[in-house]
């Protein structure tokens, strides 16, 4: 009797499992991962200009911390790296409409974006910092000190810098710009009081242009993990990306790239003006 019962239970398990297994197979066939391997190319969406993550050199080639990682990702798949430079305000719609396979563009994985796309595990954590005009060095010590109508703060349109400025410093006069470099120059030239933007960018602008003009308040006042973005409903691709990140972080590749782009400045000589 026990053997019959066990056999019946086993058969029931098989009957229940087969449809679920078949559904999993069909889902995997629709994965972007399968399309990438079939087409032998990885199309990576990004917007060049965010130092030191994705930039354009004087030869018209793309370079940066994210570009290194994207190339390593393509290599791990055995496919060609295909960069797709696109405007930031259309970068998520471009992914959804299949203009590229993945976003690797210094994108913060916040909840609003997560409603539209899925994210890999974070590959780096940054936060908002302040590039401050030097005339305020004795009066402004944190973002809270800027929360006054007498100050004009700037950031880039459609970024988490803009969101932080409007949410956390609501009383200040806020102006947005199409490019983070334009916003930074407003502060450097004395036309605005402070730039609210990601730590790496503010650090670079201070080093390049800030001597005697700005000071860098380098303690982040937000938590912002950056991650790769993919279309929703693709667990196979997400699994591959997270396994890739673990390998990339632990085989020395991540550290070598980080050292180059964040701790040295030689690459700045080759930047396209």
Residue 100 has pLDDT above 70, yes or no: yes
Are residues 230 and 105 part of one domain? yes
Instruction: Output the average pLDDT for the chain.
Output: 90
Tell me how many domains the chain contains.
Answer: 2
- Could you tell me if residue 74 is inside a domain? yes
Are residues 165 and 36 part of one domain? no
Are residues 208 and 75 part of one domain? no
Are residues 188 and 69 part of one domain? no
What pLDDT is recorded for position 269? 86
Digit-coded pLDDT (tens) for 2-60: 454 455 545 555 555 555 445 455 656 679 999 999 999 999 999 999 889 999 999 99
Nearest-Å Rg of the Cα atoms of the chain is 23
- Could you tell me if residue 207 is inside a domain? yes
- Mean pLDDT over 170-186 rounds to 96
42 vs 268: which has the higher pLDDT: 42
What pLDDT is recorded for position 128? 96
Contact status, residue 36 vs residue 42, Cβ threshold 8 Å: yes
Q: Which region among 3-12, 36-45, 78-87, 168-177 has the lowest average model confidence (pLDDT)?
A: 3-12
- Could you tell me if residue 4 is inside a domain? no
- Could you tell me if residue 173 is inside a domain? yes
Task: Report residue 149's pLDDT band, with 50, 70 and 90 as the boundaries.
Answer: very high
Contact status, residue 188 vs residue 210, Cβ threshold 8 Å: yes
Taking the C-alpha atoms of residue 231 and residue 55, their distance in angstroms, rounded to an integer, is 24
- 58 Cβ partners below 8 Å, 6+ apart? 270, 271, 272
- Cα 129 to Cα 110, 149, 231, distances in angstroms: 18, 20, 30
CATH of the domain at 172: 3.40.190.10
Beta pairing partners, 224: 126
Phi, psi at 135, each rounded to 5°: -65, -15
Taking the C-alpha atoms of residue 236 and residue 243, their distance in angstroms, rounded to an integer, is 11
Are residues 38 and 119 part of one domain? yes
Are residues 160 and 148 part of one domain? yes
* Residue 258 burial (C-beta neighbours within 10 Å; 0-12, 13-18, 19+): middle
Q: Domain span at residue 89?
A: 32-125+226-270
Task: Report residue 270's pLDDT band, with 50, 70 and 90 as the boundaries.
Answer: confident
- Could you tell me if residue 9 is inside a domain? no
H/E segment holding residue 216: strand 214-217
- Could you tell me if residue 45 is inside a domain? yes
Digit-coded pLDDT (tens) for 188-243: 999 999 999 999 999 889 988 899 999 999 999 999 999 999 999 999 999 999 99
Ramachandran sector of residue 98 (left: φ over 0; alpha: ψ -120 to 50; beta: rest): left
């Amino acid at each position: 009797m026990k053997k019959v019962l066990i056999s019946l239970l086993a058969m029931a398990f098989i009957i229940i499992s087969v449809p679920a297994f078949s559904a999993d197979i069909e889902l995997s066939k629709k994965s972007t991962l399968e399309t990438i391997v079939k087409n032998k190319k990885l199309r990576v969406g990004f917007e060049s200009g965010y130092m030191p993550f994705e930039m354009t050199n004087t030869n018209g080639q793309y370079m940066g911390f994210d570009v290194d990682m994207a190339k390593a990702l393509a290599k791990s798949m055995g496919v060609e790296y295909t960069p797709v430079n696109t405007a930031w305000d259309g970068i998520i719609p471009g992914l959804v409409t299949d203009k590229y396979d993945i976003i690797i563009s210094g994108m913060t994985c916040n909840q609003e974006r997560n409603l539209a796309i899925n994210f890999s595990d974070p590959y780096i954590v940054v936060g908002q910092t302040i590039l401050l005009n030097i005339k305020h060095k004795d009066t402004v010590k944190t973002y809270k000190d800027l929360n006054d109508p007498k100050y004009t703060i700037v950031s880039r349109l459609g970024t988490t810098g803009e969101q932080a400025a409007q949410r956390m410093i609501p009383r200040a006069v806020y102006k947005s710009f199409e490019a983070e470099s334009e916003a930074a120059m407003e502060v450097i030239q004395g036309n605005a009081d402070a730039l609210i933007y990601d730590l790496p960018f503010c650090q670079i602008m201070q080093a390049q242009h800030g001597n005697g003009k700005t000071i860098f308040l380098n303690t982040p006042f937000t938590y912002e993990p950056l991650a790769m973005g993919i279309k929703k409903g693709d667990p196979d691709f997400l699994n591959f990306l997270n396994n890739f990140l673990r390998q990339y972080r632990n085989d020395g590749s991540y550290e070598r790239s980080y050292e180059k782009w964040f701790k040295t400045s030689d690459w700045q000589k080759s930047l396209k003006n």
